[in-house]
Amino acid sequence: MAESSRIDVSIEHKHAPPEPPAKKHPNTCPGCGSHYRDDELEASLRVCPHCGHHFPVKARERILQLVDAGSFEEEAADLRSADPLDFFDLRAYKERLAEAEVATGLGDAMVIGSATIEALPCELAVMDFSFMGGSMGSVTGEKFARACESAVEAGVPLVSVSASGGARMQEGILALMQLPKTVVAVEELHEARCALISVMTHPTTGGLLASFASLGDVLLAEPGALMSFAGPRVVAQTTREKLPDDFGLAESNLRFGHVDRIIPRPELRSTLAQLLRLFGSD
Amino acid sequence: MPRDAEIRLRDRLSKLGGLDLLRGARLSGELERLQRQLDRIEAEPTDEEIWRSVELARHQDRPYTLDYVNRIFAGFFELHGDRGRGDDAALVTGLGRLEGRTVAVIGHQKGRDIKERTARNFGMAYPEGYRKAMRVMELADRHGFPLVTLVDTPGAYPGVAAEQHGQGGAIARSQAAMARLGVPTVACIIGEGGSGGAVAIALADRVLMQENAIYSVISPEGCAAILWRDAGEARKAAAAFKPDAAHCLELGVIDGIVPEPEGGAHEDHDEAARLLAAALADAVEELDDIPREELRAARRVKFRSMGVLA
């Protein structure tokens, strides 16, 4: 056939295609390009000393940053996800779970427990984005609900720190059901007159924003955190609109009245203490 | 291995079978319905059947909220606007009569033709829609009207303005509002139960699903695009996350399946409405005598226990 004998000569690639940008080292600042040793970043609470960019913080490190040394007592650490759907995409959900546990040392994407901050007692529920994107499945929802119940029992406020892409698809409809589950847990918390202080860090999107994270008595955000129900890519694809530069960011949410304050990380501990005092934690 | 849902259904079936048929037709209808649910559970849907549900749930001739409202709720009076910012046509609200009593109705509304679809934003609500829903929930609570919600949305609208108006928070607060209601609440997924936009109005005492409806955490296309990196793998995604009614019942996410006419609800809107009306009336009646506090507590316990742990 004529077509098969034709020789394609591309004139579009006279030069070699540009190398894909090398993946940046996690300790290289995406804001200014500065590079840090891990201990330097840890000492600066993982905020870039040069430009103020907030790097992600894992759950256990976050807890160390916030609470009085030695005061944290973890709860429900033994909870593990089941695989009710026998979910398999390109890989089995069970495999992904096992791998995430080995990589992070966590049982799931949330750590809960009691602690004191500047000697004020509170309950903590802290998410970890490095465990499957912080996605919320049955265990995350259960841990949050238990944190609410512990707070009620102790009569103390609950501080949640979210970092999550949303519901965990591998648990299907049961992942969606963690939205109403955490919502009713917050309702019970509120009825017992315990406060929820919700700290939203990068990212707090999808099902998190559409459930407990938005229901705090006080909503705090970290600078630059993405906080949108739909992610920027989905919005751009659906609407074919050009998105504003600050689409879904904490700063935009503050401007539109969806959060109370943006708190730089070095001030978070003292801010939480101030709120705990106001809500009468002591 | 007998599953919990199956045991529950068998239990209810044997109880009903042993009763004197005082209530006549309705009870025998209930028997039939349970038997049918049992049959569906025993035969686990195949991947093809799941995909057929996805297609039927989105069928262009499938009855939408207003098709049902006009057939089921006598003297329906539509309520417009969120009293703050606007009126969202993707979510209709109103009052009507169900078996001789006033109920509040909230439902997503897709459009039938291109013009209406655009006007109704394909059933994808803005925060204004959920704020309107909350206002009507409060109205229902104030006057003791049972609340019926009809869920049919691909999802809450993902747009710049929707985000700026607080989409996530509106969905969260709408659920919270439902958790506080002291009146009977019945939700039915009548087509697509798409993620947060669906559950925003589905934190109900009884959650029903029509036979060919789907209820899911993400659309099959969205899931395929993320996990398979190819939206074309939607069938595989649907088979993996199982959004069909039978699986939702098995997982304890819904309380019952509402039968549809042979071939699907689009084949006969009148019959589909009759079957839905009977299911809604039954559910409301079942909840009717439960005191406010008990109702609310039971609703919360039900959602508190959702999920499967290892």
Q: Is B99 exposed, middle or buried (0-12, 13-18, 19+ CB in 10 A)?
A: middle
- Structural domains of chain A in order of their starting residue, each with its CATH number: 26-55 (no CATH), 57-278 (3.90.226.10)
Mean pLDDT of A126-143: 97
Q: In A, which residues are within 8 Å of B303 by CB distance? A: 177, 180-181, 183-184
Q: What φ, ψ does residue B156 adopt, rounded to 5°?
A: -65, 150
Closest-approach residue (CA) in chain B for A253: B164
Please say whether the beta carbons of A201 and A170 come within 8 A: no
State the Cα–Cα distance between residues B218 and A261, nearest whole angstrom: 31
pLDDT at B2: 47
CA atoms within 13 A on the CB side of A252: 19
Q: What is this structure's pTM?
A: 0.89
B165 touches chain A (CB under 8 A): yes
Q: Is the model's pLDDT at A13 over the cut of 90?
A: no
Q: Which of B173, B229, B179, B224 is nearest to B196 (CA)?
A: B173
- What are A182-219's pLDDT values in tens digits? 999 999 999 999 999 999 999 999 999 999 999 999 99
Mean pLDDT of B263-288: 96
CB contacts under 8 A, B 108-147 vs A, are: none
Q: Is B3 exposed, middle or buried (0-12, 13-18, 19+ CB in 10 A)?
A: middle
Instruction: Suggest the residue from B54, B128, B175, B230 to mutate for an interface test with chain A (most A CBs closer than 10 A).
Output: B175
Q: Is the model's pLDDT at A54 over the cut of 50?
A: yes
Closest-approach residue (CA) in chain B for A226: B163
Residues 6+ apart with CB under 8 A from A249: A224, A225, A226, A227
ipTM: 0.91
Mean pLDDT of A104-109: 96
Which of B159, B168, B304 lies nearest to residue A184, judging by beta carbons?
Answer: B304
Least confident span in A29-43, A179-193, B29-43 = B29-43
pLDDT at B19: 44
B180 touches chain A (CB under 8 A): yes
B247 touches chain A (CB under 8 A): yes
State the Cα–Cα distance between residues A210 and A204, nearest whole angstrom: 10
Instruction: Suggest the residue from B53, B217, B254, B293 to mutate for an interface test with chain A (most A CBs closer than 10 A).
Output: B217
Please say whether the beta carbons of A213 and A185 come within 8 A: no
Which of A215, A234, A247 lies nearest to residue B172, judging by beta carbons?
Answer: A215
Closest-approach residue (CA) in chain B for A212: B172
B217 touches chain A (CB under 8 A): yes
pLDDT at A190: 98
Closest-approach residue (CA) in chain A for B202: A180
